[in-house]
Amino acid sequence: MGDKGLSFLFSGLHFNRKKFADDFARFKEKNENEDIPETSTIVETVKVEPEDKLAAGKKRKRKEKGSAERVESFSVFKKSEPARVVEDEEKEEDIGLQEKKEYHRRIERDALSRKKYGIHISGHNVPSPLQSFDDLSSRYGCKSYLLRNIAELGFKEPTPIQRQAIPALLSGRECFACAPTGSGKTLAFLFPILMKLKPGSKEGIRAVILCPTRELATQTTRECKKLAKGKKFYIKLMTKDLAKNGDFGSMHIDILVSTPLRLQFAIRKRKLDLSRVEYLVLDESDKLFELGFVKQIDSIVKACSNPSIIRSLFSATLPESVEELARTIMHDAVRIIVGRKNSASDLIKQKLIFAGNEEGKFIAFRQIFKESWTPPVLVFLQSKERARQLYKELAFDDIRVDIIHADLSQAQRDEAVDNFRAGKTWVLIATDVLARGMDFKGVNCVINYDLPESAAAYIHRIGRCGRAGRVGEAITLYTEADVNFLRNIANVMVASGCEVPSWIMALPKLRKKKHRPSRDSIANKPTKLEDPEEE
Ligand SMILES: Nc1ncnc2c1ncn2[C@@H]1O[C@H](COP(=O)(O)OP(=O)(O)OP(=O)(O)O)[C@@H](O)[C@H]1O
């Protein structure tokens, strides 16, 4: 990603490159020299402070900070801060022996716990991971209604990302978090917001959650309302109508969930005030930092001008480039990686099928349905046009098939998602508009009719199955046109323990990141699909 259009994001919140050229140079140097390995172990400095005090202190400090001090935030992962060493040493001497012992016991306990759950952290003084949801009351005074709502949802134990990200955010730390698809990241960012914000306040918007698609924004709003049940939070989804006509001055909103474009529109045209926002979440953050979104994100981050804002980035994939961009806007962030970075959930059985050409692909696709299939199935294609073609081919079969892509009206899109959720649709044909974040619990199988355009797209697409501890199956069809790109997908498969033919692994590495070949239109060779309920 180039520098163009990243005026604000790339320059940091208040960062003046000229004025702080030396610091910037040092940061760059440090960054290059101190690259933390993927499976980085625990990096914590020796400093004992109770969690609530620490959080309060942090907040105060952030509020007092002027623009110059923000330069510090460039060293998100620094292992030692020269200016602080003396101070830390003095403090350490003051700490009694007992406290020191207790501190070291905690460090050991935390390290063991993180190892057990595959949590890797970097950052200064990272709070202990949760042992259970009960920790939320004992350590952070969590209100009973929230724990009740979690229990009602059937959640017994926090997932690994929840164990670490919730305490980090509750302690006032910004964070970027990478954890597998379907591993509960949504609750990890929603919970601290609900815990920290006063419900029904008239102060204005205090939390903004950004999602790359309307479907995901709708789903996140619904999840947020479920978690907040019993409290009068004003939780709003930014609809098209609201963005165009909303009278935000007279409207009560505590938490706003939106796609970037709609929010940017409302800021510009409806003078939406985000200056009181305390929490900004970029969900599917790597997507939001892609070229199509980055200008919008830029202006939203700028509009969220509260100096003590806590920003967090969540995704199942987190490329280096995004981490670098994130560092420029975040202060003293905690980096949390669950499992291996940029890998697929190991609950998904992944398979590659060679189909020669487009015609062969259609035959192979039908074969999958003939042999064995358990609805619901999600089928991904590379474009709206191709999705329409496949839909046409299947529409005359006795199969409950539907289609979703960005050209449909909002009502049609909502209906497609609702019907699929409700089990009224068995096969949903989709473009990548549905690839990220969508949580369809029952999906057993994802079929990549067209090879995904990148390894990240592959991880997110197949991540629509194998969620919340369930197993799933992902089948990827490929043709001659895809062979050169296969290695990228195969790497992901191998990393999650799936078998891949050795010739694929021997293919040269491709420099090109995106793969979108032009393809022949989908063959029209109808053979009737089997209806599983008739068997
Ligand atoms: N602690 C928990 N115990 C059991 N299930 C949970 C827990 N937390 C969340 N879930 C469930 O796990 C599923 C996946 O969660 P979620 O959608 O947040 O995943 P995600 O990590 O955001 O995935 P993606 O990367 O695809 O967006 C949801 O159905 C959610 O209700």
Q: What percent of the chain has pLDDT over 70?
A: 79
Alpha carbon distance 47, 279 (integer Å): 26
Looking at the fold, whether 328 and 386 belong to one and the same domain comes out as no
Q: Are 472 and 458 in contact (CB under 8 A)?
A: no
Q: Which atom of ligand 1 is nearest to the CA of 133?
A: 1
Atom 13, ligand 1: residue with shortest CA distance: 468
Give me the pLDDT at residue 504, please.
Answer: 92
Over residues 424-444, the pLDDT tens digits come to 999 999 999 999 999 997 898
Atom 27, ligand 1: residue with shortest CA distance: 437
**Ligand 1 centroid distance, CA of 181 (Å):** 8
Nearest CA to 449 out of 517, 357, 382 is that of 382
Alpha carbon distance 52, 353 (integer Å): 54
Nearest CA to 503 out of 523, 483, 517 is that of 483
**Ligand 1 centroid distance, CA of 439 (Å):** 8
Task: For residues 373-377, give the mean pLDDT.
Answer: 87
Nearest CA to 176 out of 36, 70, 360 is that of 36
**Ligand 1 centroid distance, CA of 183 (Å):** 5
Looking at the fold, whether 139 and 270 belong to one and the same domain comes out as yes
Give residue ranges with CB within 6 A of ligand 1.
155, 158-159, 162, 179, 181-187, 316, 437, 439, 441, 463, 467-468
Half-sphere exposure of 505 (CA within 13 A, CB side): 10
Looking at the fold, whether 319 and 352 belong to one and the same domain comes out as no
Which tokens hold the place of 359? 């015609």
Out of 338, 370, 396, a domain closes at: 338
Q: Which atom of ligand 1 is nearest to the CA of 183?
A: 21
Looking at the fold, whether 317 and 354 belong to one and the same domain comes out as no
Residue ranges making up the domain that contains 260: 110-338
Q: Which residue has the higher pLDDT, 83 or 502?
A: 502
Q: What angle do CA 394, 399, 403 make, to 5 degrees?
A: 55
Pocket probe mutation, ligand 1, options 147, 183, 432, max atoms within 8 Å of Cβ: 183
Give me the pLDDT at residue 92, please.
Answer: 61
Looking at the fold, whether 310 and 369 belong to one and the same domain comes out as no
Atom 15, ligand 1: residue with shortest CA distance: 184
> To which residue do tokens 């806590």 refer?
310
Task: For residues 436-456, give the mean pLDDT.
Answer: 93
Asked if residue 388 belongs to a domain, the reply is: yes
Out of 314, 338, 362, a domain closes at: 338
Res. 459 pLDDT band, cuts 50 70 90: very high
Res. 7 pLDDT band, cuts 50 70 90: very low
pLDDT above 50 for 53: no
DSSP for residue 410: H
**Ligand 1 centroid distance, CA of 467 (Å):** 7
Nearest CA to 429 out of 458, 470, 400, 409 is that of 400
Asked if residue 535 belongs to a domain, the reply is: no
Atom 25, ligand 1: residue with shortest CA distance: 181
Asked if residue 120 belongs to a domain, the reply is: yes
Atom 20, ligand 1: residue with shortest CA distance: 182
Q: What percent of the chain has pLDDT over 90?
A: 62
Task: For residues 95-103, give the mean pLDDT.
Answer: 84
Question: 74-83, 310-319, 440-449, 481-490: lowest mean pLDDT where?
Answer: 74-83
Pocket probe mutation, ligand 1, options 150, 159, 186, max atoms within 8 Å of Cβ: 186
Out of 300, 316, 338, a domain closes at: 338
Atom 4, ligand 1: residue with shortest CA distance: 155
Half-sphere exposure of 386 (CA within 13 A, CB side): 22
**Ligand 1 centroid distance, CA of 162 (Å):** 10
Give me the pLDDT at residue 18, please.
Answer: 44
Looking at the fold, whether 145 and 242 belong to one and the same domain comes out as yes
Q: Which atom of ligand 1 is nearest to the CA of 460?
A: 26
Which tokens hold the place of 75? 């060293």
Give me the pLDDT at residue 94, please.
Answer: 65
**Ligand 1 centroid distance, CA of 182 (Å):** 5
252 conformational bin, left if phi > 0, alpha if psi -120 to 50, beta if neither: beta
Res. 88 pLDDT band, cuts 50 70 90: low
DSSP for residue 512: -
pLDDT above 80 for 75: no
Q: Which atom of ligand 1 is nearest to the CA of 157?
A: 1
Looking at the fold, whether 288 and 381 belong to one and the same domain comes out as no
Res. 399 pLDDT band, cuts 50 70 90: confident
Q: Which atom of ligand 1 is nearest to the CA of 284?
A: 27
**Ligand 1 centroid distance, CA of 347 (Å):** 14
Please, which residues bridge with residue 353 across strands?
Answer: 477
Res. 529 pLDDT band, cuts 50 70 90: very low
Alpha carbon distance 154, 405 (integer Å): 32
**Ligand 1 centroid distance, CA of 220 (Å):** 11
Question: 60-69, 117-126, 240-249: lowest mean pLDDT where?
Answer: 60-69
Find how far residue 457's CA is from the centre of its chain.
13
Contacts of residue 461, defined as CB under 8 A and 6 or more positions apart, other chains included, come to 380, 432, 435, 446, 448, 452, 474
Task: For residues 166-176, give the mean pLDDT.
Answer: 96
Pocket probe mutation, ligand 1, options 147, 185, 286, max atoms within 8 Å of Cβ: 185
Beta strands in 276-332, from DSSP E residues, in sequence order: 279-283, 310-315
Half-sphere exposure of 458 (CA within 13 A, CB side): 31
Asked if residue 9 belongs to a domain, the reply is: no
Q: Which atom of ligand 1 is nearest to the CA of 468?
A: 12
Highest mean pLDDT: which range of 132-136, 288-292, 527-531: 132-136
Looking at the fold, whether 216 and 275 belong to one and the same domain comes out as yes
Q: Which residue has the higher pLDDT, 10 or 352?
A: 352
Give me the pLDDT at residue 82, please.
Answer: 42
> To which residue do tokens 């199509």 refer?
292
Looking at the fold, whether 298 and 380 belong to one and the same domain comes out as no
Asked if residue 303 belongs to a domain, the reply is: yes
Question: 147-156, 186-195, 405-414: lowest mean pLDDT where?
Answer: 405-414
Res. 189 pLDDT band, cuts 50 70 90: very high
Half-sphere exposure of 510 (CA within 13 A, CB side): 20
Alpha carbon distance 64, 58 (integer Å): 10
Asked if residue 212 belongs to a domain, the reply is: yes
Task: For residues 309-332, give the mean pLDDT.
Answer: 89
**Ligand 1 centroid distance, CA of 423 (Å):** 20
Asked if residue 295 belongs to a domain, the reply is: yes
Contacts of residue 371, defined as CB under 8 A and 6 or more positions apart, other chains included, come to none
Interhelix angle 291-303/260-269, nearest 10 degrees:
50
pLDDT above 70 for 66: no
Looking at the fold, whether 310 and 272 belong to one and the same domain comes out as yes
Q: Which atom of ligand 1 is nearest to the CA of 181?
A: 25
Looking at the fold, whether 333 and 373 belong to one and the same domain comes out as no
3-state SS class at 313? strand
**Ligand 1 centroid distance, CA of 356 (Å):** 37
Give me the pLDDT at residue 315, please.
Answer: 96
Give me the pLDDT at residue 91, please.
Answer: 61
Alpha carbon distance 255, 177 (integer Å): 21
Alpha carbon distance 168, 185 (integer Å): 13
Q: Which atom of ligand 1 is nearest to the CA of 186?
A: 18
pLDDT above 80 for 77: no
Give me the pLDDT at residue 424, please.
Answer: 92
Q: Which residue has the higher pLDDT, 29 or 506?
A: 506
Q: Which atom of ligand 1 is nearest to the CA of 159?
A: 1
Asked if residue 79 belongs to a domain, the reply is: no
Q: Which atom of ligand 1 is nearest to the CA of 161?
A: 21
Domain of 484, CATH number, reads 3.40.50.300
Residue 226 CA: distances (Å) to CA of 145, 182, 464 = 11, 18, 21
Give me the pLDDT at residue 182, please.
Answer: 95
Largest Cα–Cα distance of the chain, in whole Å? 80
**Ligand 1 centroid distance, CA of 57 (Å):** 32
- What is the total residue count of the chain? 535
Atom 19, ligand 1: residue with shortest CA distance: 182
Beta strands in 238-376, from DSSP E residues, in sequence order: 255-258, 279-283, 310-315, 334-338, 348-354
Residue 359 CA: distances (Å) to CA of 427, 431, 486 = 20, 20, 19
Question: 320-329, 379-388, 475-484, 497-506: lowest mean pLDDT where?
Answer: 320-329
pLDDT above 90 for 325: no
What separation, in Å, do the N-terminal and C-terminal C-alpha atoms of the chain show? Answer: 52
DSSP for residue 68: G
Looking at the fold, whether 259 and 356 belong to one and the same domain comes out as no
Q: Are 378 and 445 in contact (CB under 8 A)?
A: yes
Alpha helices in 175-230 (DSSP H): 185-196, 214-227
Which tokens hold the place of 29? 């140097």
Nearest CA to 449 out of 368, 531, 530, 532 is that of 368
Residue 486 CA: distances (Å) to CA of 190, 254, 348, 353, 515 = 37, 46, 18, 11, 10
**Domains held by the chain: number:** 2
Res. 17 pLDDT band, cuts 50 70 90: very low
Q: Which residue has the higher pLDDT, 247 or 50?
A: 247
DSSP for residue 533: G
Find how far residue 27's CA is from the centre of its chain.
26
Alpha carbon distance 187, 183 (integer Å): 10
Q: Which atom of ligand 1 is nearest to the CA of 463?
A: 26
Over residues 408-418, the pLDDT tens digits come to 998 999 999 99
pLDDT above 90 for 333: yes
Beta strands in 343-459, from DSSP E residues, in sequence order: 348-354, 377-380, 401-404, 427-430, 445-448
Res. 534 pLDDT band, cuts 50 70 90: very low
Give me the pLDDT at residue 20, please.
Answer: 37
